[in-house]
A and B are shown apart, each in its own frame.
Chain A
Amino acid sequence: MTAASRGLARRRHASAGASDFLVFRVAGSAHAMRVSVLREIVKSARLTPVPRAPETVIGITSFRGRVVTVLDLARCLGLGPSSRASSDASGGQRARVLMVEVASEIVGFAVDEVLQVRRLGEEHVESAAVALGPEAPAHFLGVARPGDASQSETIVLLDPGALIP
């Protein structure tokens, strides 16, 4: 995947006011994170389950010489357990772990499928407060409606830093 992310990095600074987001599917709907926090997308991670850890933690894995905690993104969002049941991150052919760097720690987020990279400008994004009211959880950055009328899908934009237990 590294080639893909390098491609993304190159495009990142193309226009001001807009950022590249990685769009992925988790618990049946589209979510996205800024590409800039992404370190790598891993296809299958050998996971070691961690007793006593919060239930959002699926396990730990080794990544670039570090011990990385892998979180079930669906559970982090309060959307119930994701499709992956086993300890090996092989919840499905398309399942991936997003290695994300937040607050100088690398954390893995397990998602059901990686969809695409989209450039989202301010014109596409409603802030969390507007979309969900003042009660919106801290990890919701906002909601994007990128397409024209024909493509009415919404993408929930996430702040991974606020998702860490």
Chain B
Amino acid sequence: MGILEVKNVGKRFGGLQALSDINLSITQGTVHAIIGPNGAGKSTLLNCLVGKLIPDTGSVSFEGKSVLGRKPHEINQMGISRVFQTPEIFGDLSVMENMMIPCLAKRDGAFSLQAYHALLSDREIVDRAEHMLEDMNMADKRNMHAAAMSRGDKRRLEIGMCLAQEPRLLLLDEPTAGMARADTNNTIDLLKQIKDSRPITIAIIEHDMHVVFSLAEWITVLAQGTPLVEDTPDKIKGHPKVREAYLGESAEH
């Protein structure tokens, strides 16, 4: 029984069957990569896991509890955090404020009306956010406008914000898309370090095979909305079906 169980999930957009009969089990404490060519349904699947889309059929459960019908913020409060393809941060706020928001969300829940006491006198939150920034090696950027940072730093901040909530499952949607090689390698190192330092499960959707084979312990290959194969990275590398799906060539070639 995995931390996240996806059973018979299907999703249709008009005439397009985006996902059909997906079964997936993510094992606690592993890095599970979901790969597949463009249009394979990776992002649709991810959106079904976090409550942005509701699948037409099937079930999704996290730690034995169904996530279907719950709103994104409720699913997040259950312990699933999501990192987006383009870093989603609070661009108008400072880096420090960006980090304080998930700390508040973790402590006070989805809504709390604290309109009178000063934010900066809340030592618990300030200390926690500073601690997280140091963890992410961003302490020197705390007063910067988040929007003014480089893409790599935004990604680092976004991951840090997710970790501040101490999620049990971290979902990453192409975390290195559009990044320079150096930033990509930094992100890989960061994720490895995260994995080694805490009991977290990571599910990663990725295009870049370099990233996938650097991190993943288990890989599911999606093609045309349905799982093609799943196996360890070593087995996936030489799998004829995968080559076919990716390169559009038949196995005989």
A and B interact: no
Chain A residues near B (Cβ < 8 Å) = none
Chain B residues near A (Cβ < 8 Å) = none
